[in-house]
Amino acid sequence: MGPMAAFARDARSQPSTPSAMVRELLDIADYIANLRDAIALLRANELTRDRLPMVHEELGEVVAATAGATNSIMGNAEAILALPESPGYRAAVEAKIYDIFEACAFQDITGQRIAKVAEAMSQLEGRLSRFSSAVKARDAAGVDEAESTRRSRNEALLLNGPQVGGPATAQDAIDALFD
């Protein structure tokens, strides 16, 4: 039985004196204050402002990267197929190229699944945002140490990792270092 059901039960069993009503109202006010504190600890505003959009963006980047890789593999495979005819060589290459084409079908399936997850996250973001607005939620004051530690660790591990929208340094610039 939830706290509000307990309040309703208590309200029916207590005499309706002014002091009992005031006590009950104070209990309800305490319950609401505790609920607001619990909502603040969820950091709903941070989730809708930072975390959920980042998830959506990262999933979109995964879809784009897999599509790009697949297109590159398939383009190269098609170029191999266009090689001049020679006995034995062409048959062996064709067999392998068709295997590559078949393997590249993963992108369509993973892209569809990731798109579903991204859509679900987008819906969650919208609902959480509407909920936060409806209850006038404010994030808890201070810094969530566990979240701060997790973010710092992830940033340190990804210092030279994937960049949203492509690499921070163009491949040509990296290649020029070796010239």
Q: Domain limits of the chain?
A: 10-42, 44-134
What are the pLDDT tens digits along the chain (179 aa)?
Answer: 555 555 555 555 555 788 888 999 999 998 888 887 777 777 777 777 777 777 777 788 788 878 888 888 888 888 888 888 788 888 878 888 888 887 777 777 777 888 888 888 888 877 777 777 777 777 767 666 777 787 777 777 665 555 666 656 666 776 677 77
Q: Are 109 and 139 in contact (CB under 8 A)?
A: no
Note the pLDDT of residue 28: 92
Assess contact for 48 and 132: CB atoms under 8 A: yes
Q: What pLDDT is recorded for position 134? A: 74
Rg (CA), the chain: 29
Provide the percentage of residues in the chain whose pLDDT is more than 90. Answer: 4
pLDDT for position 167: 58
For the chain, the three-class secondary structure string (H helix, E strand, C coil) is: CCHHHHHHHHHHHCCCCHHHHHHHHHHHHHHHHHHHHHHHHHCHHHHHHHHHHHHHHHHHHHHHHHHHHHHHHHHHHHHHHCCCCCCCHHHHHHHHHHHHHHHCCHHHHHHHHHHHHHHHHHHHHHHHHHHHHHCCCCCCCCCCHHHHHHHHHHHHHCCCCCCCCCCCCCHHHHHHHCC
> What is d(CA 94, CA 135) in angstroms, rounded to the nearest whole number?
63
Tokens found for residue 3? 């706290």
- Which among 142, 131, 150, 140 is positioned nearest to 51, based on CA atoms? 150
